[in-house]
Amino acid sequence: MKLESEPQMPLSPHVGRAAFTMVPIVRIREENPHVKTFFFKHDLLAKPGQFVMLWQPGFDEKPMSVAFSDSKTKEFGLAVAKVGPSTEHLFGLKKGDRLGVRGPYGTQYSLPQKAKHKRIIMVGGGFGSAPLRFLTEQAVSLGFHVDFIQGARSEDRLILRKDIQQLGAHLHVATNDGSEGVKGLVTDVLETLLSSNKGRYDAVYTCGPELMMQAVGRLSEAHGVPCQVSVERYMKCGFGVCGQCDCGGILTCVEGPVMWYADIKKNPEFGSFHRDGSGQKHYFK
């Protein structure tokens, strides 16, 4: 029951299936100078790989991958990078402030049902490690051996390393400048693991820059290991109505974001370009 003394929150701009629930921030954790994880009090019931639409009153809504979701504590967490006016405002919020959330939406990562070896690999590039951290938690609880490869431009761009290790995963780091771990790309580490443990992995899961995921998919396929990727596109509605997130005939908000590389690799847009809010093409470099 809402008390009369509570401040009145702005009404959500959406109704029905797309209505937001206003949820309080319960804590904020700084991951690095560019990323913070915001924890909210709400039983989201999300699965690894799914996303929510996050609304700040006075700003646009943004899709965010779920990094934490715990039904026991009825909390969920989003790892957010400061990349523009909306996220810059978000970084200025504090415990107790309320934001609108709707979802979860989209497909989820799927662990092998009949795993021969119970060994899997996560490959996270930049902020892509967040949903893979969530999947790692699920996988370890089910007895999987997890090798987690995390890549970034430099050491100060890495996120969630302590979380990943505390979950019991074997962390491998690659940075472009060599400031942490291997100097090079995540695919260099992936090639080493797949070659030295040939035939011993059941699946590879990846999230991050699209060209990186394409390279991870190709390498995994070359070693005979199935791979799931998380395809990011411009999203407005989140549940297949507006068509804004079309990727070569696929609506990524409902048919994705998680897809098998074997299915998406022939898509003419995957690894080539994405579209902004106006539909203009932006080619990957």
Segment 230-264, tens digit of pLDDT: 999 988 888 888 888 999 999 999 999 999 999 99
Rg (CA), the chain: 19
Q: What is residue 18's predicted lDDT score, i.e. its pLDDT?
A: 64
Beta bridge partners of 273: 283
Say if residues 111 and 142 touch (Cβ distance below 8 Å): yes
3-class secondary structure for the chain?
A: CCCCCCCCCCCCCCCHHHCCEEEEEEEEEEEECCEEEEEEECCCCCCCCCEEEEECCCCCEEEEECCEEECCCCEEEEEEECCCHHHHHHCCCCCCCEEEEEEEECCCCCCCCCCCCCEEEEEEEHHHHHHHHHHHHHHHHCCCEEEEEEEECCHHHCCCHHHHHHCCCEEEEEECCCCCCEECCHHHHHHHHHHHCCCCCCEEEEECCHHHHHHHHHHHHHCCCCEEEECCCCCCCCCCCCCCCEECCEECCCCCCEEEHHHHCCCCCCCCEEECCCCCEEECC
Which residue ranges form the domains of the chain, and what is each CATH number?
Answer: 16-105 (2.40.30.10), 119-283 (3.40.50.80)
Averaged over 179-188, what is the pLDDT?
96
| pLDDT > 70? residue 36 | yes
pLDDT average, residue stretch 183-209: 96
CA distances from 81 to 25, 38, 199 (A): 17, 11, 36
Q: Are strands 250-251 and 246-247 parallel, antiparallel or unpaired?
A: antiparallel
Structure tokens at 228: 């799931």
Q: How confident is the model at residue 84 (pLDDT cuts 50, 70, 90)?
A: confident
| Token couple for 215 | 């390279």
Of 177, 179, 164, 215, the closest CA to residue 194 belongs to 215
Predicted pLDDT of residue 217: 98
Query: Three-class SS of residue 111?
Result: coil
pLDDT at 86 (0 to 100): 87
**CA 17 remoteness from chain centre:** 23
pLDDT tens-place string over residues 145-160: 999 999 999 999 999 9
**What is the pLDDT confidence band of residue 3, given thresholds at 50, 70 and 90?**
very low
Cβ pair 245, 252 in contact under 8 A = yes
- The answer on pLDDT for 56 being more than 50 is yes
> Coil, strand, or helix at residue 236?
coil
pLDDT at 46 (0 to 100): 95
pLDDT number for residue 4: 33
